[in-house]
Copies of this chain bind each other. A is one copy, B any other.
Amino acid sequence: MLHFKNDYNEGIHPDLLEALAKTNTENLPGYGRDRYCERAADKIKKAADCPQAQIEFLTGGTQTNQIAIASLLQPYQGVLAAETGHIATHEGGAVEYTGHKVLTLPSHQGKIRIQDVRSYLETFFADENHEHMVFPGMIYISHPTEYGTLYSKAELEALSAICQNYQLSLFLDGARLGYALAAKDTDLDLAAIAQLTDVFYIGGTKMGALAGEALVFTKNNRPAHFTTIVKQHGALLAKGRLLGLQFDRFFTDDLYIEIGCQALALSEQLKAILKEKGYRFYLESPTNQQFIIIHNDKLTELSKELTYSFWEKYDADHMVIRLATSWSTTQEDIDRLKAIL
């Protein structure tokens, strides 16, 4: 079976595993106070050209979203997001569980439009009843989005300016950030993201970590007693070394970027093959997730040799499916896929 279903179905990148194995017998303080967490944080600050950054390591994406949002919002505030945003759809209501509303905006291939944000905020503050409504306190974007699409630097600058204007936080969910940074035509590097957002996270799980996301507060805005807040959410890992060691390795010798580049190179090959074979694309994605419209019969046939993600029904005869390359995809996988398609 060939696997293009997702980017978290294999274990751990061999270099990260090696880092774990090599340091395994070291006796280290718990709860993220070990030297590897510190070293990883230092390397991320450097990579993001953001010396004042405050970095916290958490275990998974929903957990990171939940804690970042809940800890930065005031009780009377909600978070603006695309209606297709991960926090709005596939996190089991984790944001609402903390008492905050997700305020949704139309999604354009996973992205929110600047004018929609602006119009929402203008309407809200013009409404004489807005004291009876949930205040927008943050803008959440995913980058890449759930559709593999990317924001441009100009878009992020515009969002950043709006946030400053209305005193909102700008939060970028980078569950697949490595695949965004490695995209051919992106003008957003880690430094630009650190500069333009208030908080973002560097996804580890989908880039080859066993578990682990690095949450970066960029404006000296980490909430006080963050460790206690993390504990209160049940999210403080005793052996924080697991997270620190992996990110220390990710940010040594540009491994994180390299993993992204390799997966995107294979994704470009995948796109080329799909085009060549005449598959119809659901949208144009510059990252590791490709969405195609496929006939039900063809899909049945492919299912015997290939795993993929079902996305949505397109029409009576067609489905939209997603094929994803990842840190663990090999050239051989692509070659075999070509043969199958």
Residue of B nearest to A205 (CB): B238
Quote the shortest CB–CB distance from A128 to chain B (angstroms).
7
Chain B contacts of A228 at CB under 8 A? 76, 92, 131-135
Which A76-103 residues have C-beta < 8 A from chain B? Answer: 76, 78, 89-94, 96-102
Chain B contacts of A61 at CB under 8 A? 238
Which A240-258 residues have C-beta < 8 A from chain B? Answer: 241-242
Size bracket of the A interface: 35 or more
How many copies of this chain sit in the oligomeric assembly?
A: 4
Q: Is the CB of A9 within 8 A of B24?
A: no
A285 sits at the interface (CB 8 A) = no
Residue of B nearest to A86 (CB): B132
Q: Is the CB of B90 within 8 A of A96?
A: no
Chain B contacts of A100 at CB under 8 A? 93, 96
A262 sits at the interface (CB 8 A) = no
Residue positions of A touching B, CB distance < 8 A: 1, 3, 6, 8-12, 14, 17, 20-21, 23-31, 59-67, 70-71, 74-76, 78, 89-94, 96-102, 104, 128-129, 131-135, 205-206, 210-211, 224-225, 227-229, 231-239, 241-242, 307, 310, 328
